[in-house]
A and B are shown apart, each in its own frame.
Chain A
């Protein structure tokens, strides 16, 4: 069926309003007949108008019209001469089937898991070779310990102290009703060493260090520094990841111990100053309530959290593609992912200890 071509005049000035009108008009026509956009009035000096015209053509074609142009003047011809015909096809973004989206995400998740596993393998390989030419970069590791550990002490102590105070105050209102105020010491000691100390430390270190690792490695990726290391036969994991993970493994338990002490101190302050419990009584109650296993459990967890923070940060950093805003996104995502991973791991630990004790 070859029906007669449909003539549609293109106005002189293709401004926003006339652009919309022209699109509507084109949409009204049935497909099949060629649609001829008559350009004899069209003012092609306006670059935006030319772009609008091309958009109308692309949309018309996508809808099944055979769109053509008639009466192009020389200026319009020149304006279109440099345009790659492929542009008309690129204009329409294909919609993806929901199943395809889910499938793609599943494939990406599997790929991510593989990447993290490889990164973890390379990191363990690096950690188990402490000395020699291919060994741990101890100077870098020491610098990281200062950065990750020492510099985090004030904020860890401050926050843990406050959380200890809050725990004790909350406990006090309940326990006082039973005349059992002294058990605040148990409450604070156990919840701090088992859960709050390791978790608070993990959250603080994620925010401080996880984001920094992702940002540092990510910006090295986009400035080709990581590529340069590869071509110099230098293993980026050994230089960039192993020292940081090592520092995290060593510093997380120490920070956790400080967090524990600060939390207990907070509870002590409330107990002695606010509730008149007596310093000696509070301290001996604390010591009695604590088992060594509570403390060591917390410390083991903190090591695992450290490894999670280091690997997640490094993975997000190496995965950066694009520009500076991708580095920012990697830093954010490193913090969010590592906090979630630490809390999930913590729940796993708690369940494990509950059923094995």
Chain B
């Protein structure tokens, strides 16, 4: 979809990252063009959130690059802030500012980066909240919302500035099926209307099949599958198959201790 002139919205190159001595990601590569929706799959603890943290420069990778619109996010502070104005991230746990109402949370980036006056920004914030089904929750404090409502408010804040790149960390986890379905429709609608590039971390197979053009799957910090949805579905890797068939995989690590310890005569 990208022409020769416009760089892809997101390029992740050979990313290696971790926390202190704990390696988490090892050689992740990913390209997302405008108008594309890419699902990031992987078991819990496989490093999906860590990948998003690297993309928005909350975590500095030990190796590799992250380019957004062709510019290096880890380049420098001012450059990073400029790039991030075009990026929305909905955190797994929403991460709303607890000292502000929900509407004020969504209005904050609008006031700061678009220079809107407070009342106009709050109006737009309510429009964003309405899109995630929270038209009436604007005046509530984050602590007065349910977990699912907070998560949706986080999505509203992430789309506040019509970002060119939207990152969603498990947008429909913990939501009832109807609301989850509505979030999927919102994602498709955003792509249709604004040509947003979207990366969605998700476990919901139904959601993946509905929204994703492509998918990557992480396991133990590596990409074990990547490609179109059909390609990933057809992967021969047992861990990928197990994911789509909702099976537990025996990764061979188990029973290591018994084997190691048993005395055989």
Give me the interface of A with B, judged by CB distance under 8 Å. 5, 34, 36, 57, 67-70, 72, 77, 80-85, 87-88, 133, 220, 223-225, 227-235
What is the CA–CA distance of A33 and B16 in the complex, to the nearest angstrom?
Answer: 44
User: Which of B80, B82, B112, B261 contacts A69, CB < 8 Å?
Assistant: B261
In the complex, whether B256 has a CB less than 8 A from a CB of chain A is: yes
Q: Smallest Cβ distance from B258 to chain A, in angstroms?
A: 5
Taking CB as reference atom, which chain A residue is nearest B118?
A139
Taking CB as reference atom, which chain A residue is nearest B93?
A224
Could you name 30 residue pairs across A and B whose Cβ atoms are closer than 8 Å? A36-B263, A68-B261, A68-B263, A69-B263, A70-B262, A72-B262, A77-B255, A80-B261, A81-B254, A81-B255, A83-B257, A85-B256, A85-B257, A133-B112, A220-B98, A223-B95, A223-B98, A225-B95, A225-B96, A227-B53, A227-B91, A227-B95, A228-B91, A229-B97, A230-B57, A231-B56, A231-B87, A231-B89, A234-B112, A235-B81
* A228-B95 in contact (CB<8A): yes
* A233-B263 in contact (CB<8A): no
What is the CA–CA distance of A233 and B111 in the complex, to the nearest angstrom?
Answer: 12
In the complex, whether B108 has a CB less than 8 A from a CB of chain A is: yes
B260 proximity list for chain A (CB < 8 A): 85
User: Which of B56, B112, B115, B256 contacts A84, CB < 8 Å?
Assistant: B256
Q: Please indicate which of the listed interface residues A5, A67, A223 has the most CB atoms of chain B within 10 Å of its own CB.
A: A223
* A133-B115 in contact (CB<8A): yes
What is the CA–CA distance of A67 and B260 in the complex, to the nearest angstrom?
Answer: 10
Q: Smallest Cβ distance from B127 to chain A, in angstroms?
A: 18
In the complex, whether B253 has a CB less than 8 A from a CB of chain A is: yes
Q: Smallest Cβ distance from B100 to chain A, in angstroms?
A: 10
* B95-A224 in contact (CB<8A): yes
In the complex, whether B246 has a CB less than 8 A from a CB of chain A is: no
Interface residues of B in 12-65 (CB under 8 A from A): 53, 56-58
* A232-B108 in contact (CB<8A): yes
What is the CA–CA distance of A81 and B253 in the complex, to the nearest angstrom?
Answer: 9
- Given A67-B261, A81-B255, A85-B260, 11 extra CB contacts under 8 A: A34-B263, A36-B263, A68-B262, A82-B254, A84-B253, A133-B115, A223-B98, A228-B89, A230-B84, A231-B58, A233-B85
A72 proximity list for chain B (CB < 8 A): 258, 262
What is the CA–CA distance of A287 and B206 in the complex, to the nearest angstrom?
Answer: 82
B57 proximity list for chain A (CB < 8 A): 230
B258 proximity list for chain A (CB < 8 A): 72, 77, 80-81
Taking CB as reference atom, which chain B residue is nearest A57?
B261
Q: Smallest Cβ distance from A38 to chain B, in angstroms?
A: 9
* A232-B96 in contact (CB<8A): no
Taking CB as reference atom, which chain B residue is nearest A67?
B261
User: Interface size of B by Cβ–Cβ distance < 8 Å?
Assistant: 34
What is the CA–CA distance of A32 and B109 in the complex, to the nearest angstrom?
Answer: 67
User: Which of A5, A57, A228, A231 contacts B97, CB < 8 Å?
Assistant: A228
In the complex, whether B136 has a CB less than 8 A from a CB of chain A is: no
Give me the interface of B with A, judged by CB distance under 8 Å. 53, 56-58, 80-82, 84-85, 87, 89, 91, 93, 95-98, 108-109, 112-113, 115, 157, 253-258, 260-263, 265
Q: Smallest Cβ distance from A30 to chain B, in angstroms?
A: 18
B255 proximity list for chain A (CB < 8 A): 77, 80-81
* B263-A70 in contact (CB<8A): yes
A87 proximity list for chain B (CB < 8 A): 257
Q: Smallest Cβ distance from A232 to chain B, in angstroms?
A: 5
B108 proximity list for chain A (CB < 8 A): 232, 234
A224-B85 contact given A69-B262, A69-B263, A133-B115, CB 8 Å threshold: no
Q: Smallest Cβ distance from A50 to chain B, in angstroms?
A: 11
What is the CA–CA distance of A88 and B89 in the complex, to the nearest angstrom?
Answer: 40
B257 proximity list for chain A (CB < 8 A): 80-81, 83-85, 87-88
What is the CA–CA distance of A9 and B249 in the complex, to the nearest angstrom?
Answer: 36
What is the CA–CA distance of A215 and B263 in the complex, to the nearest angstrom?
Answer: 55
Taking CB as reference atom, which chain B residue is nearest A38?
B263
A57 proximity list for chain B (CB < 8 A): 261
What is the CA–CA distance of A227 and B49 in the complex, to the nearest angstrom?
Answer: 13
What is the CA–CA distance of A232 and B84 in the complex, to the nearest angstrom?
Answer: 6
**Top 8 A-B pairs ranked by shortest CB distance?**
A68-B263, A224-B95, A228-B95, A233-B81, A233-B84, A70-B263, A81-B255, A231-B56
What is the CA–CA distance of A220 and B95 in the complex, to the nearest angstrom?
Answer: 9
Taking CB as reference atom, which chain A residue is nearest B263?
A68
What is the CA–CA distance of A80 and B98 in the complex, to the nearest angstrom?
Answer: 44
Q: Smallest Cβ distance from A229 to chain B, in angstroms?
A: 8
What is the CA–CA distance of A238 and B92 in the complex, to the nearest angstrom?
Answer: 25
Q: Smallest Cβ distance from A320 to chain B, in angstroms?
A: 15
What is the CA–CA distance of A225 and B96 in the complex, to the nearest angstrom?
Answer: 6
What is the CA–CA distance of A88 and B257 in the complex, to the nearest angstrom?
Answer: 9
B97 proximity list for chain A (CB < 8 A): 220, 225, 228-229
What is the CA–CA distance of A36 and B261 in the complex, to the nearest angstrom?
Answer: 9
A36 proximity list for chain B (CB < 8 A): 263
B53 proximity list for chain A (CB < 8 A): 227
Q: Smallest Cβ distance from B38 to chain A, in angstroms?
A: 19
* B261-A233 in contact (CB<8A): no
B93 proximity list for chain A (CB < 8 A): 223-224
Taking CB as reference atom, which chain A residue is nearest B112?
A234
A231 proximity list for chain B (CB < 8 A): 56, 58, 84, 87, 89
What is the CA–CA distance of A34 and B98 in the complex, to the nearest angstrom?
Answer: 59
What is the CA–CA distance of A225 and B94 in the complex, to the nearest angstrom?
Answer: 9
Q: Smallest Cβ distance from B72 to chain A, in angstroms?
A: 16
What is the CA–CA distance of A234 and B157 in the complex, to the nearest angstrom?
Answer: 13
B82 proximity list for chain A (CB < 8 A): 233
* A233-B113 in contact (CB<8A): yes
Taking CB as reference atom, which chain B residue is nearest A216?
B99
